[in-house]
Amino acid sequence: MSAAEETGGEITSLSNDVFLIFAPYPDSTGFVGRITKRFKGLQVRWVKSSASPLVPPKAEDLDAKEWDGVTLLATFMPPPAEFLSKVRFVQLTTAGIDRWPGHAIYQDDRVTFATSNGCHATQIAEWVIGAWLMHQHAFLTYAANMKTGTWQSPFTAKVQDSTGMRIGILGYGAIGRQCARLAKVLGMEVYAYTRSERATPESRKDDSYCVPGTGDPDGLLPAKWFHGAAKEDVNNFLGQDLDLLVISLPLTSETRQILSHEQFEILSKKKTFVANIARGGHINQDALIKALEIEQIRGAALDVTDPEPLPSDHPLWKAPNLIITPHISWKTDALFGRLLHLMELNLEKLATGQPLINVVNRQLHY
């Protein structure tokens, strides 16, 4: 099922392009009609996938006619390479690109990739702070008490507020910056970690898509900045008496299992609470289970695991002081509108020769 239009607008530089939006939703906002009115000659096709967005499209499920001549693509999962021989630009609807590095089209330097980094920041940051507050105020304990009709004495549960505590954000991108913004309102001190040094005010600015009024566009919130790609650099950051650690990194060969036994030993000094909203592969899960069982850390919240879905008999489910959600922190009714807005912005920049938003660095894979 698809929508395809080719009409007229004042911008003519995309007149030889075919833009395919491969999505699990119908075009309920009139996006196709709006775009074709702006860009003269641009063909826009909206193909609604009947499969889950988490399942890669299969060649046999796709109508070859829809892919004929496609030069611009918006997609969640990687389609088969044989459908993309003419593609020159791929707009991902995900913030990460870890599903793409082995794909033939990704390996073609002539094809530009851009992520949707920033479209998910507000809702994911709320998930992080919500999980933190749930733990700090013992909400899960009180929720369990409701099932048994137990009125617990206020003096038996340990409750801590956030004022004066320290949040460490491992990966200070769009999501990390919004986490910092919310944490700052709670009275927390912000420490930021990036792979590359951000020594100047200009280098600390955010160049990703940003919902107005959110995040930390100028990089002014952190009290301290840390950087590096070596394990020693990460360990130094983890040793900064962090009360809350947020993992918001891209998953690469450098960051896989960036938290393991050694790192949890470092975090045990402050019994740091760990929140992971990036990818399950960032944490050695056996090490996490041990850290929770022997109380090296006060607790953890995971929206991502390895594997996904997490098997019902996996030991993570029974680990103490752990909150697990099934990779849903990105969800909000506002997400789709933000994704379409970003697509339109990048089409305009592509048409007018301006730098695109969220272009992927093929060496670093983010």
Band the pLDDT of 63: cuts 50, 70, 90.
Answer: confident
How large is the average pLDDT for residues 343-348?
Answer: 97
Q: 121-324, what's its fold?
A: Rossmann fold (3.40.50)
How large is the average pLDDT for residues 122-137?
Answer: 98
User: Which pLDDT score is estimated for 271?
Assistant: 98
pLDDT at 5 over 60: no
How large is the average pLDDT for residues 98-102?
Answer: 92
pLDDT at 358 over 90: yes
* Dist. CA 214–CA 182, nearest whole Å: 9
* Dist. CA 214–CA 80, nearest whole Å: 36
- Residues of the chain above pLDDT 90, percent: 84
Q: Where are the beta strands (DSSP E) in 171-228?
A: 189-194, 224-227
Helix (H) or strand (E) holding 124: helix 121-136
Q: Which residue has the higher pLDDT, 18 or 61?
A: 18
User: What is the Cα 204 distance to its own chain's centre?
Assistant: 19
* Dist. CA 90–CA 96, nearest whole Å: 13
pLDDT at 338 over 80: yes
Band the pLDDT of 194: cuts 50, 70, 90.
Answer: very high
- Residues of the chain above pLDDT 70, percent: 94
pLDDT at 129 over 90: yes
Band the pLDDT of 23: cuts 50, 70, 90.
Answer: confident
Q: Which residue has the higher pLDDT, 159 or 54?
A: 159
pLDDT at 60 over 70: no
CATH architecture for residues 2-119+332-352: 3-Layer(aba) Sandwich (3.40)
User: Which pLDDT score is estimated for 1?
Assistant: 44
Average pLDDT value over all residues in the chain: 93
Residue type, 153: S
* Dist. CA 299–CA 293, nearest whole Å: 10
Domain ranges of the chain: 2-119+332-352, 121-324
Structure tokens at 218: 């100028």
Band the pLDDT of 22: cuts 50, 70, 90.
Answer: confident
User: Which pLDDT score is estimated for 25?
Assistant: 80
Band the pLDDT of 50: cuts 50, 70, 90.
Answer: low
Cα-Cα end-to-end distance for the chain = 32
User: Which pLDDT score is estimated for 6?
Assistant: 52
* Dist. CA 58–CA 14, nearest whole Å: 28
Question: What are the CA-CA distances from residue 361 to residues 92, 172, 223, 241, 322 (Å)?
Answer: 14, 16, 28, 32, 34
φ, ψ dihedrals at 322, nearest 5°? -125, 135
**Cis peptide bond N-terminal to 78, omega within 30:** no
Question: What are the CA-CA distances from residue 98 to residues 78, 118, 311, 334 (Å)?
Answer: 11, 17, 22, 24
Q: Where are the beta strands (DSSP E) in the chain?
A: 2-5, 18-23, 43-48, 72-75, 89-92, 112-114, 166-170, 189-194, 224-227, 244-247, 273-276, 299-302, 322-324
User: Which pLDDT score is estimated for 58?
Assistant: 66
How large is the average pLDDT for residues 179-194?
Answer: 98
* Dist. CA 148–CA 57, nearest whole Å: 46
How large is the average pLDDT for residues 164-168?
Answer: 98
Band the pLDDT of 152: cuts 50, 70, 90.
Answer: very high
DSSP 62: S
Q: Which residue has the higher pLDDT, 256 or 156?
A: 256
Band the pLDDT of 28: cuts 50, 70, 90.
Answer: confident
User: Which pLDDT score is estimated for 350?
Assistant: 97
- Whether 121-324 and 2-119+332-352 are alike in CATH topology: the answer is yes
* Dist. CA 38–CA 85, nearest whole Å: 26
